Amino acid sequence: MNEERHNWTKEEILDIYNLPMMELLYKAATIHREHHDPNTVQVSTLLSIKTGGCPEDCGYCPQAARYHTDIEGNDLMTVSHVKAQALRAKASGSSRVCMGAAWRNVKDGPEFDQVLEMVRTINKLDMEVCCTLGMLTENQAKRLAEAGLYAYNHNLDTSEDYYKDVISTRAFQDRLETIDNVRKSNVTVCSGGIIGMGEKLEDRAGMLVALATLNPQPESVPINALVAVEGTPMENMEPIPIWDMIRMVATTRIVMPKTQVRLSAGRTEMSREGQAMCFFAGANSIFAGDKLLTTPNPDVNEDMEMFSLLGLEPQKAFVKMPQPKTVEEEESQYEAIGERPKWTRPDHTIERNELAKQKAKSS
């Protein structure tokens, strides 16, 4: 069994990333099956509850106030509007609602109180709730936890070395401190990054080092392909090849075996075949809905059609069924749930047959 390691080096991760593709895919898929149901994908809906006007200068983001983009800003949504959106997301197969606000950091006051009420409201719908609100303090993280928040997203975006080429209004260490504040509460961590921003392979490996050496590792890691938006400093960046996404997903799966790897922004540029390769390589979460905050995303009906073609099923809320380590544990688990799941470790088929033979002889 591949367990969590917290001492990965950049050189080790680069060696994995650069493996021959077939070897990389086999290794990643094998590890994926040891820890996850390969036929189940967690589906989240990302909702922009406050759009535009952000004081940050993230080079990829159309919501920065200093850039001239076509984004229409809006004030904080009402709780009733958010509830209606959450119900719509649940009906379409999502088990989690992720609420994003274009803030640099969370400020105590009426707006934060309103977000806390949104969290309580969605939690009552038996859905997981995630927020991405910028930097927050330890006390704010605890208040979100008390309201029922399931996860907090705060992406590292890239490596520490390349970070200053992407953002100048916030330090890499600020990101780590927010993650640390989340860890002090009962909220799970969602943190990943973006590839295709002009970074080197060493920067992709550096970002994974920063995430994989956290203890514990993030429960969720979104892997985004840059969506170049007109009016941002990165508007002329060329789309990355699908093979880069597959390699990044596979490498993330290998160095963070228990984490849910989310195939995030950029899916509109990916074929179904390309996305299928990412699922095979270890991606087991997506964002559904026609928008990811402000950038385009595949229609939910298209995703459900793809799921049907691939035999994938949406994961239920608050359910995680890790792969048992032994045949005996598998058999015990089958008895507990009353049915055999559609997945099993490949080597267990042979082992189970041998176990059956031994039982037959003894009887």
Query: By C-alpha distance, which of 170, 192, 137, 179 is closest to 56?
Result: 170
Per-residue pLDDT tens over the stretch 11-50 = 999 999 999 999 999 999 999 999 999 999 998 888 888 8
Task: Specify whether 190 is catalytic.
Answer: yes
Query: By C-alpha distance, which of 247, 258, 118, 248 is closest to 188?
Result: 258
Q: What is the pLDDT of residue 48?
A: 86
Which is catalytic among the residues 96, 98, 170, 175?
98
Q: Is the dihedral of CA 44, 208, 35, 146 positive or negative?
A: negative
Give the pLDDT mean for 329-339: 54
- What confidence category does residue 338 fall into, taking pLDDT thresholds of 50, 70 and 90? low
- What confidence category does residue 348 fall into, taking pLDDT thresholds of 50, 70 and 90? very low
What is the model's pTM?
Answer: 0.82
Ordered alpha helix ranges (H), 220-271: 242-255
Give the pLDDT mean for 263-273: 85
Q: Is the pLDDT of residue 289 over 70?
A: no
| Percentage of the chain modeled with pLDDT above 90 | 52
- What confidence category does residue 347 fall into, taking pLDDT thresholds of 50, 70 and 90? very low
Task: Specify whether 278 is catalytic.
Answer: no
Give the pLDDT mean for 287-310: 72
Top pLDDT among 233 and 345 is at 233
Q: Which domains does the chain have, with CATH numbers?
A: 10-314 (3.20.20.70), 327-362 (no CATH)
Q: Is the pLDDT of residue 255 over 50?
A: yes
Give, as one character, the DSSP assignment of residue 346. T
How far apart CA 116 and CA 181 sit, in angstroms, is 17
Q: What is the pLDDT of residue 342?
A: 41
Which is catalytic among the residues 143, 190, 253, 345?
190
Helix (H) / strand (E) element for 96: namely: strand 96-101
Which is catalytic among the residues 96, 104, 120, 130?
130
Which is catalytic among the residues 54, 143, 170, 175?
54
Task: Specify whether 131 is catalytic.
Answer: no
Which is catalytic among the residues 143, 175, 247, 262?
262
